[in-house]
A = this chain, B = another copy of it.
Amino acid sequence: MKAFNYYNPVKVIFGGRQTEIADILKADGHSKILLVYGKNSIKKSGLYDEICASLNDNGIEFTEHGGVSSNPVLSHAKEGALKAKDTTAVLAVGGGSVIDESKAIAAAVGTGCDIWELYEGKKPTCALDLYVILTISATGSEVNDGSVLTNEETKEKLSFGSPLVYPRVSIVNPALALTLSQNYIAYSAVDIIAHVLEIYFTAEEHPKIQNGFCENIVKSVIKAAEKILKNPNDMDARSEFALCASWALNGLTSLGVGNYSFPNHMIEHSLSAIYNVPHGAGLAVVLPAWLKWFCKSNKKQAKRFAQKVFNKKSAQEGISALKSWFSEIGAPVTLKELGIANGDIEKIAENVDLVSDRWGLKEEYPIKTIKKILNLMK
């Protein structure tokens, strides 16, 4: 096992306690905040009114920054940073996109830098306090220190991480997802599985305890997703699903595994940067193709995955089972199903090649390899 450091100070409040947010902000000394949210779903569901009433009743002033898109973009984050200038905290109400854009705003305003500098490698030195009310469990952003943003001009989708942007408090209420379309469940399940498997497969070492944890998350999210798709009101399944999402990317599954990478996310980010496809949908296409290409490099782990998760004998059968499951829950598994022409492979590969250096994957993934993987998505 490799040496590691672990630190995750996020306070998680799990359950229907979103209206406590005003008390929490007050206790932490905040009286003027930026309220960040997405399109209209929190207004339709009534959550927006609930939060505003709680803030107003407690005398907390807030500037609104709605309209975060599902692949959050730089221009919108910049507008948010301008609005946040005289606030001391950011409250993100939404899913991973809203949280990620909020992290960008919190760090850029705190540090006094341009937002894109953070994604180009600048280390933030300070950040506004970040609070989260989670409405969609998928990215794990509510319990980690990472953020992903798309620069629409350059078509780059990049990430940054800093302990300064750990949410101080994340309120996770699985009931808030009840008003969302069922599509989210399928895409979110894929995202959760991808988070786990990127580490599970690319890690330098595979401690038994971590293998077991990873397989448990994948098996649990598969079961939970199937239950929710069958009965959207199955709150136990929704709670398990939410827990899986947080577990998948709170840093615990990578303890002791040494170096690992996120090649599937790298490739998918190009798909969503160019075509604005949902992240989870893109991953459903990328992951089986990448696994097919990758499995020869670590036959033992690929076979273990097939056996432990899908009760299959060979690595190939395991990958097929995963791909079939993605199809069954309604996720696309080919470029075509994602609405992308096979003829675009060259263009996509060039976009990936543009950023592979920033992912530390330039050597391991030359453009030839990327094309090979993309060709498996036909």
Contact = CB atoms under 8 A, between A and B. Distances in A.
Interface stretch (A98-106, A206-214, A347-355): A206-214
Interface string A257-290: 0000000000000000000000000000000000
17 contacts: A1-B235, A1-B236, A1-B239, A1-B243, A3-B14, A4-B12, A4-B14, A4-B15, A9-B9, A14-B255, A207-B240, A209-B217, A209-B244, A212-B220, A213-B216, A239-B256, A243-B255
Given A7-B12, A14-B5, A239-B1, A209 B247 contact: yes
A17 interface: yes
A33 to B, nearest CB: 21
Interface in A218-247: 219-220, 223-224, 235-236, 239-240, 243-244, 247
A341 interface: no
A13 interface: yes
A223 B209 CA distance: 10
Interface string A1-25: 1111111111111111100000000
A219 B212 contact: yes
- Central interface residue in A1, A7, A240, A244, by most chain B CB within 10 Å: A1
A207 B239 CA distance: 9
A213 to B, nearest CB: 6
Interface in A1-60: 1-17
A243 B209 contact: yes
A334 B10 CA distance: 43
Contacts of A224: 208
Nearest to A220: B209
